[in-house]
Amino acid sequence: MSSAKQHAAEIVRTLRDHGHQAFFAGGCVRDLLLGREPADYDVSTDATPQQVMQIFPQTFAVGEQFGVVLVPQSSGATGTLARPGSDLRAGNV
């Protein structure tokens, strides 16, 4: 499993452990269904940006008004989290 996928899966697992819904979203789902390796992974969640920032203290609210928060990985990569219906175009994992 790629580092980016592991990071995104850990974000999903952590959000679910905190009682939230969380799923892979966007182009990574398309790529996985087509048997391709995604360039990045987006996560959609019902957690608010404030809740995400409490669960993951080292975050960047790049589009908080749209519900988009980046969760950095120690390698410098980031995971994009967005609320359903929000803009998922920003960021990569």
pLDDT tens-place string over residues 24-76: 999 999 999 999 999 889 999 999 888 998 999 888 877 767 778 888 876 55
Most confident of 3-7, 32-36, 85-89: 32-36
Exposure of 18 by Cβ count < 10 A (0-12 exposed, 13-18 middle, 19+ buried)?
middle
Q: Give the domain ranges of the chain.
A: 3-82
What pLDDT shows up at residue 64?
64
pLDDT class for 88, splitting at 50, 70, 90?
A: very low
pLDDT class for 4, splitting at 50, 70, 90?
A: confident
Indicate the class that CATH gives domain 3-82. alpha beta
